[in-house]
Amino acid sequence: MSTSEKKPVDLFEKCWTFTRADEIKAAGYYPYFRPIEENEGPEVQIEGRHMVMAGSNNYLGLTSDPRVKQAAIKAVEKYGTGCSGSRYLTGTLDLHIQLEEKLAYFFHKEACLLYSTGYQTAQGIIPTLVQKGEYIISDRDNHACIVAGNLMAKGAFAEFVRFKHNDMKDLERLLSSLPIEKPKLIASDGVFSTTGTIADLPNLVALAKKFNARVMIDDAHATGVVGKGGRGTASHFGLEKEVDMTMGTFSKTFASLGGFVVGDKPVINYLKHTAPALIFSASPTPASVAAALAALDILEKEPERIKRLIANADKMRKGFNDMGFKVIDGQTGIVPVIIGDDLNTFVFWRALFDAGVFVNAFISPGVPQGMQMLRTSYMATHEDRHLNKILETFGSIGKKLGVIN
């Protein structure tokens, strides 16, 4: 058959035949895109129902803090609602510079650069720094934004290789097989977003040193949660000097929207002048930056919030464990309860929703088969009454569905 005789396939064919989401909706189990109508942190209103929120990354509970809200309102009054330009041209406010300086100081690094989201930060840094013939070496379970950066770098003829999740033996095997003289970047989440596991940074940085590699850590779930005063994974292990770049987001602890990277001045200066994700995208809005600045200020002044967050998560880990649930152990604000298959995860999720508890349902292929989970996450502002309600509700549903005895 010649090319002209072949039946043309419409690009949108895949969209018309995509029925998975509708099937789950029809069954009544669809957990995604549920509109929140009111949000007070631990308590929210969803579809007219008052619920306890146990699925947010609002770790320090600052999205509803009056000081953070006021800072955002003031910034809108002073600077307007948007910057209408990239940082490179008309989108730099004094607020952006202030936040960059404060974050660099907070993380004990020379300089900082803001991006419009955390996703854009990783996706922007990696292909800018890792060029043709150079190596990006990535943990298999890294966040999608690192994966996006890796693939962009690969598209521009960088070498992209992955090691088994948090497996330093595999990383060593991989590094020892690569040419020592070639420039390399090892990228890893500091705290892995699905499980809350902390990266084995001491071994990772030792291997980086041995095999001529730089290190970038994504601390989206670590900032304000682990490390001295919430300074993240490098600080948690006392390795702030050894980690070359820490990146993060304002969408979690910082109660806002935007991303950042801290590192040495020449590296930040290079990214500032060469990263397309920065140069060709509008800068974070005045309200976003002001909210993040206020949140950073509160984080520094009220470190007891971190203690409360960790105590809350520890209480939940113990509570789930005591009831017989399978829980991934950890030291962060993330407490995943393993259910083990897609349908049971959805059924459990729906029963929690109906009983007034909101969590996140993670199914395959987002997580490996057998690891389907209800990912719960906590805030410093959860009170015992919220946590007890979550535990009691999990307990009674878990028994009813035969997940626990």
SS3 36: strand
SS3 80: coil
Residue type, 315: K
Q: How far apart are CA 149 and CA 155, in angstroms?
A: 10
Positive or negative torsion for Cα 225, 231, 234, 239: negative
| 71 in contact with ligand PLP (CB under 6 A) | no
Instruction: Give the shortest CB-245-to-ligand PLP separation in angstroms.
Output: 13
Cβ closest to ligand PLP, residue 324 vs residue 366: 366
Instruction: Give the shortest CB-120-to-ligand PLP separation in angstroms.
Output: 7
DSSP element (H, E) containing 26: helix 20-27
Cβ closest to ligand PLP, residue 126 vs residue 351: 126
Q: How far apart are CA 155 and CA 153, in angstroms?
A: 5
| 196 in contact with ligand PLP (CB under 6 A) | no
Cβ closest to ligand PLP, residue 246 vs residue 381: 246
> Has 193 been annotated as catalytic?
yes
| 371 in contact with ligand PLP (CB under 6 A) | no
- CA nearest neighbour of 240 among 264, 268, 221, 212: 264
SS3 235: helix
Residue among 252, 382, 386, 389 flagged as catalytic: 252
Q: How far is CA 391 from CA 39, 54, 319, 385, in A?
A: 21, 11, 7, 10
| 119 in contact with ligand PLP (CB under 6 A) | yes
Instruction: Give the shortest CB-310-to-ligand PLP separation in angstroms.
Output: 18
Q: How far apart are CA 282 and CA 87, in angstroms?
A: 7
Instruction: Give the shortest CB-374-to-ligand PLP separation in angstroms.
Output: 17
| 143 in contact with ligand PLP (CB under 6 A) | yes
> Has 221 been annotated as catalytic?
yes
Q: How far apart are CA 215 and CA 138, in angstroms?
A: 10
Cβ closest to ligand PLP, residue 87 vs residue 221: 221
> Has 108 been annotated as catalytic?
no
Residue among 56, 116, 138, 193 flagged as catalytic: 193
| 260 in contact with ligand PLP (CB under 6 A) | no
Q: Which residue has tokens 């959860």? A: 382
Task: Give catalytic residue positions.
Answer: 193, 221, 252
The binding site for ligand PLP (CB under 6 A) comprises: 117-119, 143, 145, 189, 193, 218, 220-221, 249, 251, 259
